[in-house]
């Protein structure tokens, strides 16, 4: 099998092992590249709010630096928990409100049918 030199170093095929999908790799690389661009943009201002590149690279392009960081596992993807559905949030708020009413002893006339 003949290997061709690619424009990307490290190769994309090797980076796909670190994420679950191509989309995940694109999102991870783009977010990190934006952070690197922000870091280089604020260097002269002395703000220090952005994270500098985690590796020494000969590349000057933020996306290439980001992919190099992913390849040496300095940047790893994490799975964020799913946001709860709206119905679940409404039910949880209703339960919390009911508990607060019971604790404070407030009983509405509708709740007290024995009177």
65 close to 55: Cβ distance less than 8 angstroms: yes
Evaluate whether residue 43 is within a structural domain.
Answer: yes
In a domain, 44, yes or no: yes
Mean pLDDT is lowest, of 69-73, 74-78, 89-93, 110-114, for: 110-114
Domain that holds residue 27: 12-71
Residue 7 maps to a domain: no
Q: Is the peptide bond before 18 cis (omega within 30 degrees of 0)?
A: no
Mean pLDDT score across all residues of the chain: 78
Return the minimum-mean-pLDDT range out of 14-18, 29-33, 80-84: 80-84
Domains held by the chain: number:
1
Average the pLDDT over each of 18-22, 28-32, 89-93, 99-103 and give the range with the smallest value. 99-103
Half-sphere exposure of 47 (CA within 13 A, CB side): 11
């Amino acid at each position: 099998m003949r290997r061709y030199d690619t424009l990307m170093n490290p190769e994309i095929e090797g980076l796909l092992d670190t994420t679950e999908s191509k989309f995940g790799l694109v999102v991870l690389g783009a977010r990190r590249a934006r952070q690197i661009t922000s870091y280089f943009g604020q260097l002269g201002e002395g703000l220090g709010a952005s994270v500098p590149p985690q590796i020494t690279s000969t590349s000057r392009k933020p996306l290439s630096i980001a992919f190099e960081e992913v390849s040496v596992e300095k940047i790893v993807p994490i799975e964020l928990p799913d946001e709860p559905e709206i119905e679940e949030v409404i039910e949880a708020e209703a339960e919390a409100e009911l508990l607060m009413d019971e604790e404070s002893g407030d009983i509405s006339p509708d709740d007290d049918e024995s009177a």
